[in-house]
Amino acid sequence: MYAIVDISDKQFKVRSGETLYVPHQPEAEVDETLTFERVLLVSDGDGEGTMGTPTVEDASVDARVVDHVKGDKVIVFKKKRRKRHRVKKGHRQQYTQIQVEDLATSNGAANHTEDASTEQAERAETEKDDAGA
């Protein structure tokens, strides 16, 4: 089972037990549990799943904060030719390391998908009957 979740306007594909590096969450303490409510898609891995419009209702991802880390250093070098102007700057982006503990969904969301697919099948069947007549 996996889910696509929106964390700080970035989308991540998460599975239970997986470790991720997400954009820095300054309000989160180490070993604190975060709950992400913006779940865009939930799938059981067999091609069956629930896609939100825009989010899946009653679905959430629980994750534990493992650490706050910095990424690799990115060097920014600027130069203006013939002017003796050179500037070298470095930057390290901050990330929060999280471990996904639980993908929570309600049975209603799964049933809603089945109901919608049944309705779509009935509509397609009706359209075929109308087109054939």
pTM here is 0.70
Q: In degrees rounded to 5, what are phi and psi of residue 116? A: -65, -40
Q: Which residues pair with 29 in a beta bridge?
A: none
Number of alpha carbons in the 13 Å side-chain half-sphere of residue 71: 14
What confidence tens digit (pLDDT) does each residue in 64-91 have? 999 999 999 999 999 999 999 999 999 9
Cis ω for the linkage preceding 54 (within 30 of 0): yes
What confidence tens digit (pLDDT) does each residue in 86-130 have? 999 999 999 999 999 999 887 534 333 344 445 555 656 666 666
Tokens standing for 45? 């891995």
- CA–CA separation, 21 and 66 (whole Å): 10
